[in-house]
Chain A
């Protein structure tokens, strides 16, 4: 089955700096790569996603890049703010049998 590796497990950045979280996947048939943000005590929330026919997608301060050849994709957050502190999950899939998630990155924004 699909295997998704996510790094780092914890990331601490100064407010205003950029944060980058990286994921690799194993199944070359995967064609959908979403990112979720989970705040304490809540369910994960979709923040951005990308499909295999696109190399990059941006939404305000958040961007995702995809390299299908290397089977890796990354989340970029610019001008980080305190409300960006959360756990972020990458995922891979696209078939009917659900998404495979990475183990998560705890992002800490230092004031």
Chain B
């Protein structure tokens, strides 16, 4: 089992560009999450999904979009990149809301 796989690992974007951060899991977990991690600020929830076809906003959703067409995949879309979106992004999955997360290894994004 690969667990949770995120691609790319690093990316530099120019202001106004768009990109998709990929996340896939092979554990048949229904719940998937996107967090961003900024230095000294912990992890902030961007979006989450409790199953294919269902997504909902977290604490900091502005500037992002998600889709969940399959159980395995949960891509995060940045439409108009801004410097404030410079961060490390983590995808995670779990069996349920009260279960431990498995995190991916992260995507370090820099917007210049």
Taking beta carbons and an 8 Å cutoff, which residues of A are in contact with B?
Answer: 1, 4, 6, 9, 31-32, 34, 36, 42-46, 49, 51, 89, 93-104
Contact = CB atoms under 8 A, between A and B. Distances in A.
A108 B105 CA distance: 22
A9 B105 contact: no
28 contacts: A1-B59, A6-B42, A9-B40, A32-B97, A32-B98, A34-B101, A36-B103, A42-B106, A43-B4, A43-B90, A43-B103, A43-B104, A43-B105, A43-B106, A44-B43, A44-B90, A44-B101, A51-B98, A93-B97, A96-B31, A96-B48, A96-B97, A97-B56, A98-B48, A98-B97, A101-B42, A104-B40, A104-B42
Given A32-B98, A103-B40, A98 B45 contact: yes
Give the interface size bracket for B toward A: 20 to 34
A97 B43 contact: no
B2 interface: no
